[in-house]
Amino acid sequence: MKNIRVRFAPSPTGYLHVGGLRTALYNYLFAKRNNGKFILRIEDTDQSRYVEGAVENLINALKWSGLEFDEGPEKDGGFGPYFQSQRLDIYKKYAADLVKNKNAYYCFCSPERLTALRDEQKSQNLQAKYDKHCLSLSETEIKEKLDARIPYVIRLNIPSFEKVVFNDIIRNRVEFDTATIDDQVLIKSDGFPTYHLANVIDDHLMDISHVIRGEEWLSSTPKHVLLYNFFGWEIPQFAHLPLLLNPDKTKLSKRQGDVAVEDYRAKGYSPEALLNFVALLGWNAGDDKEFYYMDELIEKFSLERVNNSGAVFDIQKLNWLNTEHFRKLPKENLLSQLKSILADSEFNDANYSDEYLLLIIESMIERVTSVKEILEKSPYFFTDPLSYEEESKAKNWKPETPELLNELAKRFALLGKITDKHDFEKPLKELAAEKEIGAGKLIHPLRLAVSGMSTGPGVYDLLYIIGKEKTISRIGKAVKAI
RNA sequence: GGCGCGUUCGUCUAGUGGCUUAGGACGCCGCCCUCUCAAGGCGGAGAUCACGGGUUCGAACCCCGUACGCGCUACCA
C-alpha cells in the first residue's frame, strides 16, 4: 500500500471551528492508525479574508487539542511551502499548462456582465452558469486583451454532457453530469488561485493519499476530479464527512452558540473531553464504548465506520464527557491547574499551601466539571462570605439562630488542635441534643454563616478545610450581618 | 429553480435480510442514600426505524417513488 498522507487544510479565518477540529481529528486519527503523515496546509488564497494572527490562533488551538501535525508551517517535510499564498508560481505554471491544452481558458468578462448573465438565468429559473463566452476568443484577440491589460481570470473548460463518477469512502459511488457543472474560475484576476485549483495541485504535489474533508465539498469534487484527469494525475481517495449541526439541524454556526475551540477552552473544557466528544459525532467503533483517550481512538478509528448523516452538537453530552474525563485527572494536574487559575483570579494576593488546595480539590471534585468551576462554586475557600444567600436565610435563619451559633462557636473555641473533621461534629451534636433540636437546625445556618451559600461539601469537611479560627470569626460576622 | 447528500428514542448512536417484543449512551422522571449540592445505586418513560409501493417465506436492513432536511450553486474556502 502506498504511503498514507492526509492533510487538514483550513483557511485562516481567525479561529478553529469545532467542525474543523473534528475534520482535523479524523485526519489525524486516520494518519496515526495507518502509520501515515498528518499535514497542515494553510489555504490563504483569499486576500480579502485575511485575518491578523489567524494562523497563529489555528496552530495554537491544534496544539492545545493535542493534534500535532507532522508537516506544515515551520515544520518542513520536503513538500513545502505549506502556505498557499507562497505557492503562486506553482499554480500559474499549471494553469498555463491547462490553458495550453484547452482544458482552461482566459476569460475577460466584466463582473457586470457576469452578474447580468446570472440574473437573467435566475429569472428564467435556469441554472446559473457561465456561458463560455470567452472560450471562442481567437489567439490574437486574447493577445490583444492581454496586452491591453484587461483584467482576466482563467476558467476551467468543463466538457459538456459527460458523466463524472468517483468513489467516496463514506458515500460510495457518486455521479455528476458535467452539464450541471459551471466553468469554475481557477485563477482570479488578482493572480491568486481559487481553492479548487490550489487544492488539487497541492494535494498531488504533497502526495496526499486521502482527502478527508467536510461534506460541503462534495458538490465541487467533480471539478477536482476533472482537474486530476486533465493533469493526468492519480486521484486520491475521498472521504466527505457529515456536517456538525445546530440543535435546529442547520449547519453549526456562531449564532446559535460557541463554535470556536478557544471558546470551549475558555469555558474550562478539557482537550481530552472535547476530542472524545467530537470523535463520537459521526463515528463509533461499533460497540458501546463512549469514553476514549487518544491512543484508543487511534487504535479503533476507521473511515468506513464514519456515519453519513449530520450530527447535532449536543452540549449536554459534552458536559458529561468533560465530567468523566475531569474525574480521572491525576491530583497533581488538578493542583497545578487550580494554582494557575487562582493566579489569574481576584484571589491572587493570598498564598495557599498545596495541602490546603488539595483538600479543596478533594471536597469539590464530585461537585464541579472543571477546575475553573471550583472558584465559581466555592469562593468561600478563598474569601470570607461577602453576602448570604437570601433563600437560605429565609429558610434556615430563625430568631434563635444567632444565640445557637454563638454558643456553638464558643464550644468550637474550646476545642484543641483540630486533627480530624469529626472534631467539629461532637460539640455540634451535643448542643443539638441539649437543646432537643435536630442537627439540621444547626448545620444549615452554620453552613450559611461560614460559606454564605447553601450548597457545597459536607459541613464538617467545610469547617475542617477553612479551619477553626476562620469558622469562629465567620460565625461572629454572620451573626452581626444577618 | 438545478445538482448532490441524507432521514432509527429529544440528542449521539448500535443495527448490513430471521439472534429485534429495535440495544447502548447523554438528557429527563421516580426511588434509595443524605446536613445541603453533587456523586453513587436501583428503576422508569421515550423510536408504528420519514412516508408509500415493491422484492422475499421473512425487511430498519435490498429496489423504486414521494416528502422533508441539509449542502453546493462566488474572481469564499
pLDDT value of position A1? 56
pLDDT value of position A351? 86
Across all strands, nucleotide nearest A392 (CA–C1'): B36
Q: Which long-range contacts (CB under 8 A, 24 or more apart) does A61-65 make?
A: A61/A15, A61/A16, A61/A21, A61/A260, A61/A261, A61/A262, A61/A265, A62/A8, A62/A16, A62/A24, A64/A261, A64/A265, A64/A271, A65/A16, A65/A21, A65/A24, A65/A25, A65/A261, A65/A271, A65/A274, A65/A275
A470: Cβ contacts below 8 Å, ≥ 6 apart: A384, A450
Tens-digit pLDDT profile for residues A280-302: 999 999 988 999 999 999 999 99
Which amino acid, residue A258? Answer: D
Between residue 151 and residue 180 of chain A, the positions with Cβ below 7 Å from nucleic chain B are 151, 153, 171-172, 174-177, 180
Contact, A376 CB vs strand B, < 7 Å: no
Cell 504511503, located at residue: A3
A421 and A375 within one domain: no
Tens-digit pLDDT profile for residues A309-358: 999 999 999 999 999 999 999 999 999 999 999 999 888 888 899 999 99
Residue A407 domain boundaries: 390-481
Instruction: Look up the CATH number of the domain holding residue A368.
Output: 1.10.1160.10
Spatial separation of the C-alpha atoms in residues A349 and A343, rounded to whole Å: 8
CA atom of A213 to C1′ atom of B42, Å? 45
A226 and A359 within one domain: no
pLDDT value of position A126? 84
A207 and A104 within one domain: yes
pLDDT value of position A365? 92
Nucleotides of B under 7 A from a protein CB: 1-8, 10-15, 23-27, 35-39, 69-77
Contact, A45 CB vs strand B, < 7 Å: yes
| In-domain check, residue A71 | no
Contact, A444 CB vs strand B, < 7 Å: yes
A354 and A272 within one domain: yes
pTM of the model: 0.91
**Count of domains for chain A:** 3
- Asked if A199 contacts A43 with a C-beta cutoff of 8 angstroms, the reply is yes
| In-domain check, residue A37 | no
A429 and A375 within one domain: no
Q: Is A254 a catalytic residue?
A: yes
Spatial separation of the C-alpha atoms in residues A428 and A432, rounded to whole Å: 6
Across all strands, nucleotide nearest A252 (CA–C1'): B70
Question: Both ends of chain A: CA-CA distance in Å?
Answer: 76
Would the ipTM clear 0.85, i.e. be above it?
Answer: yes
Residue A296: HSE in the Cβ half-sphere, 13 Å Cα cutoff: 12
pLDDT value of position A136? 92
Residue numbers in chain A where pLDDT is lower than 50: none
A196: Cβ contacts below 8 Å, ≥ 6 apart: A156, A184, A186, A220, A223, A224, A227
Tell me what percent of chain A is helix, strand and coil, each rounded to the nearest 5: 50, 10, 35
Contact, A217 CB vs strand B, < 7 Å: yes
CA atom of A49 to C1′ atom of B76, Å? 8
Q: Give the three-state DSSP class for A174.
A: strand
Instruction: Look up the CATH number of the domain holding residue A165.
Output: 3.40.50.620
Which amino acid, residue A124? Answer: Q
